[in-house]
Structure 1
Amino acid sequence: MNETSGIPEIVKISYKTGDYVGEAFERDDRRVLVKVLAVLQHPTQGDLHSSYDPDAAMFHERRALSYTEKVWVPIQTVQPYTGAIPDYRESLQTALGIEMERIDRLKRWSERSLENLESLRKDYGM
């Protein structure tokens, strides 16, 4: 795909809560076909309609797109990417680690909040 088409060859895309670097190589009026080269943000786990609900009826496991996997994405989700393209395996490991740290931080926040609420319950005489 060349610059005259309006879409740069190396792009950043968002797809099902994950962000990726890829190569755009085909398009139509609505979408772009992208070959995945790196993971920038790992997809979010769980039910997107019931955020942070561990008891949701459908708690989805979302895998990152694979190296060189091809995916059609809406044209409005495609942005130019000008940085160095990270190694896929390293980028997946980094993105997974960041997502796991985010969830661990949320877990620790939840535990601290429960401790505070328990203390408040006692203070309220309940």
Structure 2
Amino acid sequence: MESLQSGDLVTAHYKTGKYIGEIVEDRGQAFLVKILAVAKHPQQGDLHNPGQTENVFFHQRKALSYNEKANVSKSAIKAFEGEVPSYNESLKQSVEKLKEKLKEDNTFNQQAKEQLEDLEKQYFQ
């Protein structure tokens, strides 16, 4: 495993999203990571029943906020190299990529798109 430490830039998989952040603290099995950009927006819907819309609670899942801190398992973290994009631009791009993935017309994608459109109003007003 790479030897990462406080101050290092990393990509961090957290729940169903992926972020670019900075390690703030080593917490044993996890790192505390400060979020700087969104690489992949979290999936919408019930994580335990992916693709399902009936008899499940269809969750709206927001991306972690700029400078928000999250405990991320060390196994879900890799070193990041390159320039960190602006948080707002990365959030817009990640939302657009997720919308592209939801192009196929089905009930799940329709509900996911509705959640994403609501989130866009919250994010970009």
CA distance in 1, matches of 2:105, 2:18: 23
User: 1:43-65: CA deviations, max 9, x gaps?
Assistant: 00001221111224211110000
Q: Counterparts of 1:56 and 1:19 in 2: how far apart (Å)?
A: 28
Matches of 2:83 and 2:55 in 1, distance apart? 39
What secondary structure is seen at the aligned counterpart in 1 of 2:18?
strand
Give the total of aligned pairs: 104
Identity, % of aligned positions:
38
Deviations 1:42-87 (A, max 9, x none): 0000012211112242111100000000011111111000021000
Rg larger in structure: 1
Runs of 4+ in 1 over 6 A off after TM superposition: none
Q: 1:24 aligns to what?
A: 23
- TM-score, length of structure 2 as denominator length: 0.77
TM (normalized to structure 1)?
A: 0.77
Separation in structure 2 between the aligned mates of residue 61 and residue 35 of structure 1, nearest angstrom: 22
SS where residue 73 of structure 1 aligns? strand
Q: Which runs of 5+ in 1 are unaligned?
A: 111-126
Q: Report the CA distance shift for 1:56/1:37 in structure 2 as closer, same or farther (over 3 A).
A: farther
Amino acid at match of 2:85: P
Q: Distance in 1 between matches of 2:93 and 2:23?
A: 23
Partner of 2:71: 72
Q: In the alignment, which residue of structure 2 is the partner of 1:45? A: 44
Amino acid in structure 1 at the alignment position of 2:101: R
Larger helix percent: 1
| Structure 2: unaligned runs, 5 residues or longer | 109-125
Task: Give the CA deviation at 1:100.
Answer: 0.8
1:6 and 2:3 correspond: yes
Cα deviation for residue 20 of structure 1 reads 0.2
Query: Which of 93, 105, 108 lines up with 1:107 in the alignment?
Result: 105
In the TM superposition, residue 28 of structure 1 has moved relative to its aligned partner by: 2.2
